Amino acid sequence: MWDEEYDIVIIGSGFAGLAAALEARKTCSSVVVLEKMQVPGGNSAISGGLVAAAGSPLQAEEGILDSPELMLDDMLRAGLDYNDPELARIVAEKSTETLLWTIEELGVQFKQTLSHLGGHSVPRTYNTTNTSGSGITRPMLVKCREKGIPIDLKTLLQRFITDEQGAVLGVEVRRGYVFPHAGSGESRRIRARKAVILATGGFSQDKAFRRIQNPILSENIESTNHPGATAESLVAAIRAGATPVQLSLIQLGPWASRDEEGFGVGSMFSMLAGFPYGVLIDVKTGRRFVNELSDRKLLVDAMLNTGRESLAIVDQKGVRYASTLGKCLKRGVVKQFGSIEELSQVNQVPLAPLLETIRVYNSSVKRGVDEEFGKPIPEDLLPIEEPPFYSIRLISKVHHCMGGIQINARAQVLDIETHRLIQGFYAAGEITGGIHGASRLGSNAITDCLVFGRIAGRNAAQDPSR
Amino acid sequence: MRDSLARMLADAVDDLFLAWKQGVENQGIVGDGIGDRACFQRVMDGILALVGHGDGVMHPVNMPRIILDEPSSVAFIVEQARLGQAQGVPFPRFLQSFKVLERVAEEYLVGRAVPGQEMLAALLSLRRATDLLEYALIQDWERSNREDTPAPQEQLHPGIVLDQIRNEIFYKGIASLIMKIDAQGLITEASPQTTRFFSDRRIIGRFCGELLDIGVTSMGEILEVFPPDEVREIILNRDTVRYVFEVHLLPLNLEGSDAGGSILLLNDITRIADDRLRFEMQAGDPGHEQFNSEKMRSAIFQSVGEGILLVDQDLEVVKANHRACEIYGLSRQNLIGTDLLALTDQAGAEKLSEFFGRLIEGQRLSEEMTGLYVDGRTFPTRTTVTRIDYAGKRFWTIIVLDTTEEKALENRLRQEKQQTEEMNLTLKNVLRSIEGDRRDFENRISSKIGTAIMPMLEKICKEAQPSVRRSYLNLLGDQLIALTSGFDTELDAGLLKLSRTEIEVCRLIQGGFSSKEIGDAMNLSFETVQTHRKNIRKKLNLNGKNINLHAYLASRACENGALQEVRRERGMSGGDSRKE
């Protein structure tokens, strides 16, 4: 009947899967992580490595007043109250504890400054020192190796194996699978004596599936995700009785570069410099059209409106936190100019309106209030005036799936008919739905993945062996 | 290059004229304008103009298009041919004179002291220009033939036209390699160049897919790989040289020609492909996208089993193949932009830095070094570094071979060797101990001989009674047999020491009689029987041992019947004993 047996079988080797594995391993010796790609880490490893935490030590140092309640408010506001408030609250409440776990137990290194991302009331975002999610996945993988948790690559989930009562007993997988060749590898049945934890992420790269959910997302819209971000595990979970929620809520990222593929190095430039310290203009008119620190949904909606061509402009002072600047310049993603005139010429922006836009914006900054679009003006936001100037051409790319399968506060997957938990079945991370509602705030995803990954791992390990 | 070619030819125009005049005279085609300076000059000017023309013209594939788009560039030759015809020069004769011109120009170039590379380029350019002109000539001639003759099929069989075209053009120039294949894809004819190119192979009758090494087995697949209306590029490797060919498959559907056959044209575009590569390398920032060129792609991404990284001057990875990602456990997005030195340990980093310092362009160095997997695991690699210079910048290709399995195999072999050596040692020890056992054994045997057999011999010598002597001899024989067979039971030398009376006493003890019964039976006093018993115990070496004599004798008797034998041979049986 079974080819292999473990106490806990985790599908996916991103933040959620690895967090679950490490937590489960504390009380349970037999844990395995299965990953379909040939490298571990999935989207987590190529993400920006931004972690939101309410009431963190750096906030305390900088005298920023924050609380889980404020973070929850921000999440619900951006999420248009589509959020499951109980799950969202857990993310906010456990955010700082989880951040400290990454520092103390994993040895993750963060920069000593906070970022203020769009839609957050206050700066509450930690940045890994290497400006990448790999700054977190790497220590997690090292820890997994030390703890003897195998990460089995090239292993594709095919279906969940359930009993008559619907409990998940194990999984059927293909070992030796070579992405994306469906028939590759060998079929194996793996038993999970305690539980299966699904942590397979979203489906932003599954163009057919996402178009079914949201017909606006046509084939030619790119994605920031790695190519393996497809929907087959979600489908398998639904087949096993999981409840799909809000699958059509798919987020586009407003900050990705038109001049490179995927998330690249430009996205972090926009997030760390272009939006907070610069202006976002329409190339055709030379004018601003939105508060640059809006949440992602508002930004993307504004950018997609009437086919705008968006360009973010920032000056020498504005790039001081842009840790990917060197790479951006090298790859031609960000261009550097000695003057606004030069910038306007190369980017084909009408000069006079652009100069006027910058003049008005600068005076708003000096006054401390942006009457036009309501961008918050913190003290360290300075006028755009010191050359060299930098520009990045932006295009919206599919980034995150807010929808997924429903879980409860213990990260247990809920049955579509009975609304009760399915025995032996947990889920965490982007595969789950309902936590972020209509729009996920930047830097909340890693927090979510780590918080619920750990909850899933800890609870699954306490389940009785079957 | 082309400018210099045009200049070279223009400088030599007088020499070329003389050589051409000589040539056409030798061929006996002078007259009606051929051999005239005027005729020569017009054709020559046309060639020079064409040679100096832009890039596109030189591309054989573009020829038909150029004739359509820019008829003026080749019109002069057609006009010249028509003029010749008007003057009474039949087309083949005009073509022949043109071929002579082509030949003398080529010979002239070959005679010039220019470097090989440049020479090759010049010849190629010239050849392509003349090919183009020839093509235009033939095309015009064919057209005029059709126009002039209302029913061309009757006068000129298409097969003949085909043959002429083949003879006059195809086999001599336009495409580098020409093969005619039948409906099954088997080669039925091949141009001399083709035969030369595949010099060491038999061509006629071979399946073209096999010859071109494109991994197909049927004509159907050939048609998939080379759709008749499209041009495809293939790479052929001959003697370490890599050629790029453009392949056209032209189905022969001319009436009267071989049904279902095709002509396979292979245009050598190696130089064009190289130029394209160079162009791509130079266009834009050489750090990135230009490496998407054909050559790099094939080098980097078609490779299996080995990880390949392209590293720029900052030692930053700018390109990585699938295998490299797998080796280091990093997705391409993570791997690109990574510092190369972070993928190895301290010693590896030092080695690589040293390589980067001393490698010269094109040079290749290889070293065993440690690789670093994403989870901190280390693994052995064989790393080969090659330097490439482009547009004044340096790049390095790093070929990484994960030798974990190789090393594991080596280790296993080493272990097995060690185990074998240990085994040898053990065997040696076993042999030694066996040798020791053997020696012990010999010692035991010689001591047995000394303690049991020799005394028996003495007894035999002293014994006068023949029957007793015979029984001693029998016993001796048994002892010798026992000595050489089995050796499992220890020889009971004690039994042999017993006297006749003692043996009888033993027999009775063995039979379960008490000392009193034995005394009665043997007419001995109880005390005498007890003394006998005591002596028997002593001789059987049972003194001081907690062994019952009856049990001992019973077990001995069961085992080998020695006692019975001794008794019988001494003639002591039943009631006879007392008679003796």
* A236 falls within a domain: no
Contacts of B462 (CB under 8 A, 6+ apart): none
Residue that is last in its domain, among A367, A395, A423? A395
- Write out the residue range of the structural domain in which residue A56 sits: 4-204+400-462
Based on the domain organization, do A185 and A277 belong to the same domain? no
* B556 falls within a domain: yes
What mean pLDDT comes out for the span B24-50?
79
- CATH number of the domain that residue B182 is part of: 3.30.450.20
**Confidence (pLDDT) at B402:** 85
Inter-chain contact A46–B374, Cβ cutoff 8 Å? Answer: no
* B532 falls within a domain: yes
What mean pLDDT comes out for the span A224-234?
95
What mean pLDDT comes out for the span A263-290?
93
Lowest mean pLDDT, pick from B50-54, B374-378, B461-465: B50-54
Based on the domain organization, do B56 and B16 belong to the same domain? yes
Angle of helix B526-539 versus helix B500-510 axis, rounded to 10? 100
ipTM: 0.87
* B31 falls within a domain: yes
With beta carbons under 8 A apart, name residues in chain B contacting A45: 330-331, 334, 374
Residue that is last in its domain, among A350, A372, A395? A395
Q: Give the Cα separation of B133 and B63 in Å (integer).
A: 9
**Confidence (pLDDT) at A254:** 92
Q: How confident is the model at residue A388 (pLDDT cuts 50, 70, 90)?
A: very high
Question: From its phi and psi, is residue A312 left (phi > 0), alpha (psi between -120 and 50) or beta?
Answer: beta
In a mutational test of the B interface, the residue from A13, A35, A39 whose CB has the highest number of chain B CBs within 10 Å is A39
Based on the domain organization, do B9 and B157 belong to the same domain? yes
Based on the domain organization, do A83 and A55 belong to the same domain? yes
**A393 a catalytic residue:** no
**Confidence (pLDDT) at B194:** 77
* B521 falls within a domain: yes
Name the closest residue on chain B to residue A327, using Cα atoms.
Answer: B337
Based on the domain organization, do B116 and B184 belong to the same domain? no
Token pair of B45, please?
């000017």
Q: Report how many domains make up chain B.
A: 4
Residue that is last in its domain, among B361, B383, B402? B402
Question: What is the residue type of A260?
Answer: E
What mean pLDDT comes out for the span B86-109?
80
How many CB atoms neighbour CB B423 within 10 A?
A: 11
Inter-chain contact B334–A265, Cβ cutoff 8 Å? Answer: no
Based on the domain organization, do B500 and B378 belong to the same domain? no
With beta carbons under 8 A apart, name residues in chain A contacting B324: none
Based on the domain organization, do A9 and A157 belong to the same domain? yes
Euclidean distance between the first and final Cα of chain A, in Å?
15
Residue that is last in its domain, among A375, A395, A415? A395
- CATH number of the domain that residue A294 is part of: 3.90.700.10
Based on the domain organization, do A48 and A143 belong to the same domain? yes
Based on the domain organization, do A126 and A193 belong to the same domain? yes
Question: What is the residue type of B35?
Answer: G
Based on the domain organization, do A386 and A414 belong to the same domain? no
Q: Report how many domains make up chain A.
A: 2
Based on the domain organization, do A307 and A438 belong to the same domain? no
Contacts of B392 (CB under 8 A, 6+ apart): none
Contacts of B330 (CB under 8 A, 6+ apart): A39, A41, A45, A134, B338, B374
* A213 falls within a domain: no
**Confidence (pLDDT) at A306:** 63
Beta strands in B228-303 (DSSP E): 232-238, 241-251, 262-268
* A177 falls within a domain: yes
Catalytic residue among A288, A296, A454, A458: A296
Kind of pairing between the strands at A151-152 and A31-34: parallel
Based on the domain organization, do B59 and B151 belong to the same domain? yes
Q: How confident is the model at residue B97 (pLDDT cuts 50, 70, 90)?
A: confident
With beta carbons under 8 A apart, name residues in chain A contacting B326: 38-39
What single DSSP character describes residue A384?
S
* A197 falls within a domain: yes
Based on the domain organization, do B288 and B359 belong to the same domain? yes
Based on the domain organization, do A421 and A388 belong to the same domain? no
Interface of B with A (CB under 8 A): 285, 287-288, 314, 316, 322, 325-326, 329-331, 333-334, 337, 374-377
Based on the domain organization, do B378 and B328 belong to the same domain? yes
Based on the domain organization, do A172 and A289 belong to the same domain? no
Based on the domain organization, do B56 and B125 belong to the same domain? yes
What mean pLDDT comes out for the span B332-337?
88
In a mutational test of the A interface, the residue from B289, B292, B314, B331 whose CB has the highest number of chain A CBs within 10 Å is B331
* A435 falls within a domain: yes
Q: How do residues A304-363 score in pLDDT, each as one tens digit?
A: 876 788 999 999 999 998 888 999 998 899 999 999 999 999 999 999 999 999 999 999
Inter-chain contact B376–A37, Cβ cutoff 8 Å? Answer: no
Based on the domain organization, do A83 and A37 belong to the same domain? yes
B444 phi and psi angles, rounded to 5 deg: -65, -45
* B74 falls within a domain: yes
Contacts of B333 (CB under 8 A, 6+ apart): A46, A226, A262, A263, A264
Q: Are A283 and A310 in contact (CB under 8 A)?
A: yes
Q: Is A404 in a helix, a strand, or coil? A: strand
Estimate to the nearest angstrom the gap between the alpha carbon of B421 and the chain centroid: 32
Based on the domain organization, do B11 and B77 belong to the same domain? yes
- CATH number of the domain that residue B121 is part of: 1.10.490
Based on the domain organization, do B131 and B82 belong to the same domain? yes
* A140 falls within a domain: yes
- Nearest partner of B291 among B219, B393, B173, judged by Cα: B393
**Confidence (pLDDT) at B282:** 47
**Confidence (pLDDT) at B570:** 53
Based on the domain organization, do B92 and B184 belong to the same domain? no
What mean pLDDT comes out for the span B530-543?
83
Q: Give the Cα separation of B130 and B174 in Å (integer).
A: 9
User: Is the model more confident about B233 or about A268?
Assistant: A268
Based on the domain organization, do A119 and A171 belong to the same domain? yes
- Write out the residue range of the structural domain in which residue B363 sits: 283-402
Lowest mean pLDDT, pick from A195-204, A255-264, B1-10: B1-10
Inter-chain contact B375–A145, Cβ cutoff 8 Å? Answer: yes
What mean pLDDT comes out for the span B554-562?
56
Based on the domain organization, do B566 and B462 belong to the same domain? yes
With beta carbons under 8 A apart, name residues in chain A contacting B377: 145
Q: How do residues A5-52 score in pLDDT, each as one tens digit?
A: 999 999 999 999 999 999 999 999 999 999 999 999 999 999 999 999
Based on the domain organization, do A386 and A432 belong to the same domain? no
**Confidence (pLDDT) at B53:** 61
**Confidence (pLDDT) at A79:** 95
What mean pLDDT comes out for the span B348-362?
86
